[in-house]
Structure 1
Amino acid sequence: MNLSSYIEKRNGVPLGHKDSLKNMLTRSLGAGKFSTFWKYWNPIWSYYLGKFIFKPLKKILPAAPSLLLTFIICGFVHDVIIIMVRSKIILLFTPWFFFMGCFVLLTNWLKLDYSNLQWPLRALINLLFILGCLYLAYQVKIEI
């Protein structure tokens, strides 16, 4: 599947459509599972993460560690950008994305499904997962 098809599948509208951002936010925040949140969040980035990180890792590792490593690598890429901008080593995104990957695996293992709740409640739950993971990441943040 090419990037354009992938984005249209995730957002329901073609790449560059005026409703693309609105659809991404509505679908991701309103997801009934934390793993589904990530299916809709930032489809351009997730396309490349899936194609160049997750799928190659999955050829040599089971799906769960491949997913966790993909989250860690994604976080590290975010950290590298911050390091380049600030000229200081700060690792916050790497642990943050590690915790979010762990929560995806944990909520899948627990079969946590809140899709029967109304959209505002689903959005609140997803935001609480994200902010909870950010809180945990701040507890282990590395700054040199």
Structure 2
Amino acid sequence: MTPSLTQYVKKRNGRPLGAKGSLGAMLVRALGAPGFDLFWVYWNPIFSYYLGYRLYRPLRRWLPGPLALWLTFVGCGALHDAVTMLARGGPALLFTPWFALMGLLVLASKAWALDYGALPLAGRALVNLGLVLLSLALVLAGGLRV
């Protein structure tokens, strides 16, 4: 059974949808996650709800889990690029390669069971943000941006 968006957000955030402090709770949980794969479990639970149930699950019916997960990241990037193109009125291709690379980092962190949970919150936040920014820097340095 698919949970409602409200149930999903409360499970991910620890607070009900729209409750006071829910944004802060999401940030602390995501940034303080002990692994890059768990960072994405807590980051933006509203968007991840729809990605999970409208993109990942249908893909998972036909594809192995890791490929379905990676394609979900690619699809998420493509959605971000589509919105950017609508807003700019022109081409944009930053988010698709960026999210594709972050998806690979998530798969690698799961495969290697990377766990930096022993670090203090600030250390975990630095690692998680560092991986997001490193992947962005790699995409920008590779000229994969339009």
Corresponding residue pairs, total: 143
Maintained 8 Å contact 1:3/1:44: yes
Distance 1:33 1:56 in 2: 26
From 88, 96, 101, the counterpart of 1:86? 88
For residue 17 of structure 2, what is the aligned residue in structure 1?
15
Percentage identity across paired residues of the two chains: 47
For residue 41 of structure 2, what is the aligned residue in structure 1?
39
For residue 67 of structure 2, what is the aligned residue in structure 1?
65
Any stretches of 5+ residues in structure 2 without a counterpart? none
Q: Where do residues 100-119 of structure 1 align in structure 2 (5 Å cutoff)? A: 100-119=102-121
CA deviations on 1:97-123 (whole Å, 9 max, x unpaired) are 000000000111111100111000000
Which residue identity lines up with residue 3 of structure 1 in the other structure?
L
What is the CA-CA distance between 1:140 and the residue it aligns to?
3.6
Which residue identity lines up with residue 141 of structure 1 in the other structure?
L
Distance 2:16 2:71 in 1: 29
Which residue identity lines up with residue 38 of structure 2 in the other structure?
T
SS in 1 for 2:101: helix
What is the CA-CA distance between 1:76 and the residue it aligns to?
0.5
Verify: 1:75 aligned to 2:81, yes or no.
Answer: no
Distance 1:28 1:86 in 2: 30
SS in 2 for 1:91: coil
Maintained 8 Å contact 1:29/1:123: yes
From 129, 141, 144, the counterpart of 1:141? 144
Maintained 8 Å contact 2:139/2:145: no
What is the CA-CA distance between 1:141 and the residue it aligns to?
2.0
Any stretches of 5+ residues in structure 1 without a counterpart? none
For residue 28 of structure 1, what is the aligned residue in structure 2?
30
SS in 2 for 1:88: coil
Distance 1:123 1:142 in 2: 26
Maintained 8 Å contact 2:36/2:128: yes
Q: TM-score, normalised by structure 2?
A: 0.96
What is the CA-CA distance between 1:40 and the residue it aligns to?
0.4
